[in-house]
Chains A and B, each alone.
Chain A
Amino acid sequence: MEQLYIDLENYLGIGTDSVPEVVRLAIAVLVLGTIFLLAPILTIWVERKVAARFQNRIGPNRTGPYGLLQSFADVLKLIGKEQIMPAHADRIPFLFAPLLMVVSVIMITAVIPLMPNYIGADLSIGALYFVAIGSLSTIAVVMAGWGSNNKYALLGAFRTVAQLISYEIPLVFSLLVPVLFAGTMSMVGITQAQADLDYWYIFLAPASFLIFLFSNLAEIGRTPFDLLEAESELVAGYQIEYSAMPWGMFMLSEFLHAFLIGPLVAVLFLGGWDGPFAEDVPVLGVVYLVIKSMAVYFLGMWMRATLPRFRIDQLMEFNWKFLVPLSIANLLIASFLWELFPEPAGGGLVDNFPRFIVMGGSSLFTLMVGLEFLRRKSVEDRERIARLIDEKNYPLATADQTGVAGD
């Protein structure tokens, strides 16, 4: 943050001492926040274009060159729209929810190291901070769902609470693996540790990477985890009653959050700004970070275009019966191996090769075992359902309350 401001001053030619510290920090926060707030405008365009290509469409192409100005046009339209509040809405939660949502997402940007020395706040608990702040958006969703005085919104809020609280657990467990490797929770520390090592943690802990990615996708509610606003079931879930800019704020925070998953995954598992010459030319760090983030973002878009949506009980089962045990096992194995195979003196790629094999291999093995369990379980489930149907006593379509879906 300081660095950002000092660089700004040098660029603009203002003396450092003439401005009090608080004002300097405020300016730096403003600049950083604005950069991240403007990012969704571009990523929405990217998302639209990529989704369009996946779906055999063209995407926005009328507003500005290649439709680049489409998002600006949308925002302008949203600002001009009337904000409607439903009858008997709970005013304060209804109006505060979009605000809280945006704030909770923007606060995450504070702990993302953009390039060497560039970070909003190098908290010693950066990784934990991200998880803690991420949980704030749950409240916003509940407030929106409650305040709207709409049953669909309420159902969306129910789902959200169940989903977000559950998926925080594998999220934290998989987050602990890079924290363990780096020996620090500071995001700068984690990036620096990977930069010093010449390899990224994804090679040591591919399973953690995947668990972290999936639980993050669930946290932000993207397909196949988009149950919070499942449009074919709950119409728009918690945002059903929102219009104009409050709705736009929900959308903004959603896209910003989705985009921020990229840098976070990149920092924790892909070395953040690490790359050739990044230490000497810091600007390259931003480029690397953006490339890595977009690669992660692309994965999300790909899944979004391909996969159907889970059902709420399947979502829960996937979390509690698969992701949570897997992430715990993964954490245990990773910490044991980390102690058993201490880092060799050289620290280079060649010296570390056996470690790669053992740690990455065991991580992948854990993942495979988990997936095999999952496969057997689902095959078993399907056979059970088929058998019940064949025996014509499938409980779902009978009058009593018990059912496969309920247990």
Chain B
Amino acid sequence: MVKTRENISTKPFSEWEGSIDELKGLVSDKAMTGESMLLNMGPQHPSTHGVLRVVLELEGEEIVTAIPDVGYLHTGIEKNMEAKTYEKSIVMTDRTDYLNPMGNGLVYNLAIEKIINLEVPERAQIIRVILTELTRINSHLVWLGIHGLDLGVTSTMTYCFREREILLDLFELVSGQRMMSTYFRPGGLWRDVPEEFEGAVQFILNIFPQKIDDYEALLTRNPVFIDRTQGIGFMSAEEALAYGLSGPTLRASGINFDIRKVQPYSGYENYDFDVPVGEHGDVYDRYLLRMEEMRQSLRIVEQGLKKLKPGPFRSDNRKYVPPPRAELGRSMEAVIHHFKLWTEGFRPPVGEVYQVIEGPRGELGCYLVSDGSPYPWRVHFRDPSFVHIGALQHMAKNHFLADLVAIIGSIDIVLGGCDR
């Protein structure tokens, strides 16, 4: 029978196909009978930072339960990476946590370097540190702008994005791409930084401290801001540890834990910087902490810039790192290596590694399993956003709807990273 317009059953799409029973056990009985209100916040909502869906049970405006529902931005990146060679899948890491492209690239490359035991020249290490710290500032700037927007301060967004533009210009300068830079490679960098790099970084170092002071002048002692953030989304140190929080969200609760200090990578042990730690574990402390982190990142960048000496920008291990272009004309061996690397890719030894770095949002981990083939057998990212969303329910309990927005802002989630 041919399907005609008539015999296709048409259902008005306003009819909700699901049933409220799906939520049984997650919300209180009152919500099931309609006594308290069930509110679907997201996935299309201005302040769920992308496509987070939170099912709220509201008693008036007070939140009884907040059930986060993730997965709306799932793009299968991890699975996709299994079908690409190690080097080719770097480009996908940028797209997970899209506010931290350099950091994602760094952790993935560190994992590869760890599994094949590849040395990275010092110049590359320093540039990696500079760029990752600038990415951290970039991420915090976006966070601050959006956090302000969530709380109703429309101006922070434009101020922060103005400064972010300078950073994005720098990323474009080094990698040719503003956001999805794909700049780090196993064994070093894609190419050496251009001559203007040092000047551009110096420019950032010159103007940013003043800008950060400006943001603080707008918010830190603003009574409405303080009222909206102090005592909100409180996590005690024990709870924060129990929920596996990390990064600024953990440190705001008073736990001094920073991967850069605890398990230094890329030569972080050579830099002198402080790790700010909060004491109250509320939204306001997280705010103060991130502001201080931006200043500390600038300190690291400044030291890095001083250390920056001319030298090789990637390892000369030809089995894993392509030879310089000039060598191809002279050496047959170089041509073979080049050909092998770009057609087949390299084959790391069988094994598995787990590498963590301190991302802007927290502990960013990469779990990599190699079966000896040119393709990773399994890549998994431990993204802090995912873990932090898990604590949302606890943090939002008995707060107002407006506080939930502040809390979501304060844990600084990026759904691209969470859902991958």
Contacts and interface: CB of A to CB of B under 8 A. Distances in A.
Q: Do chains A and B touch in the complex (CB under 8 A)?
A: yes
Given A155-B61, A396-B231, A386 B224 contact: no
Given A56-B162, A308-B228, A385-B231, A399 B152 contact: no
Contact of B235 (A57, A88, A397): A397
A230 B158 contact: no
B234 A389 contact: yes
A133 B149 CA distance: 33
A307 B227 CA distance: 12
B231 A307 contact: no
Contacts of B239: 397
Interface residues of B, number: 54
A233 B401 CA distance: 7
A87 interface: yes
Given A224-B224, A307-B222, A312 B235 contact: no
A314 B162 CA distance: 32
Contacts of A151: 37, 39-40
A362 B323 CA distance: 82
B227 A378 contact: yes
Interface string B210-233: 000000001100111111101110
A406 interface: yes
Nearest to B157: A55
A150 to B, nearest CB: 10
B158 A57 contact: yes
Interface in A32-88: 51, 54-57, 87-88
A304 B159 contact: no
A386 B280 contact: yes
B222 A397 contact: no
Contacts of A390: 279-280
B400 A308 contact: no
A55 B154 contact: yes
Interface string A301-335: 00011111111111000000000000000000000
Given A233-B402, A394-B234, A307 B152 contact: yes
A301 B282 CA distance: 30
Interface in A145-183: 151-152, 155, 158-159
B47 interface: yes
B296 interface: no
A34 B230 CA distance: 47
A219 interface: no
Nearest to A402: B398
B47 A232 contact: yes
Contact of A396 (B45, B152, B399): B399
Contact of B224 (A235, A309, A313, A401): A309
Counting chain A residues whose Cβ lies within 8 A of the other chain, the interface size class is 35 or more
Contact of A304 (B154, B279, B397): B154
A152 B402 CA distance: 12
A388 B402 CA distance: 22
Contact of B218 (A234, A306, A314, A397): A306
A254 interface: no
A12 interface: no
B204 interface: no
A382 to B, nearest CB: 6
B228 A311 contact: yes
A231 interface: yes
Contacts of A396: 231-232, 234, 397-399
A313 B155 contact: no
B46 interface: yes
Contacts of A311: 227-228, 400, 402-403
Nearest to A312: B61
A403 interface: yes
B148 interface: yes
A321 B148 CA distance: 27
B224 A307 contact: yes
- The secondary structure that dominates the B interface is mixed
Nearest to B47: A232
B69 interface: no
B401 A308 contact: no
B62 interface: yes
A232 B224 contact: no
A405 B399 contact: yes
A311 B232 CA distance: 12
Contacts of A226: 152
Contacts of A405: 62, 398-400, 403
B154 A235 contact: no
Nearest to A317: B227
Given A232-B149, A309-B402, A389 B281 contact: yes
Contact of A55 (B12, B151, B159): B159
Nearest to B159: A56
B350 to A, nearest CB: 46
Interface in B134-182: 148-155, 157-159, 162
Contacts of A378: 223, 226-227
A394 B231 CA distance: 8
Interface string B398-416: 1111110100000000000
A308 B224 contact: yes
Residue in B12, B159, B280, B402 whose Cβ sees the most chain A Cβ within 10 Å: B402
B227 A314 contact: yes
Contacts of B235: 397
A159 B398 CA distance: 18
Contacts of B157: 55
B14 A87 contact: yes
Contacts of A230: 152, 402
Contact of B153 (A235, A306, A398, A403): A306
B151 A309 contact: yes
B151 A232 contact: yes
Nearest to B56: A151
A124 B355 CA distance: 78
B250 to A, nearest CB: 15
Contacts of B46: 231-232, 235
A194 interface: no
A306 B155 contact: yes
Contacts of B154: 51, 55, 223, 304-305
Nearest to A374: B223
Nearest to B396: A397
A78 B402 CA distance: 30
Interface string A361-384: 000000000000000001000100
B81 interface: no
6 contacts: A233-B401, A308-B222, A309-B224, A310-B227, A310-B228, A389-B280
Nearest 10 interchain pairs by C-beta: A309-B152, A385-B231, A232-B47, A55-B158, A87-B14, A308-B151, A403-B398, A232-B150, A308-B152, A311-B402
Interface of B: 12, 14, 37, 39-40, 45-47, 58, 60-62, 148-155, 157-159, 162, 218-219, 222-228, 230-232, 234-236, 239, 279-282, 394-395, 397-403, 405
Given A305-B154, A382-B226, 5 more contacts: A152-B39, A392-B236, A398-B397, A405-B400, A406-B62
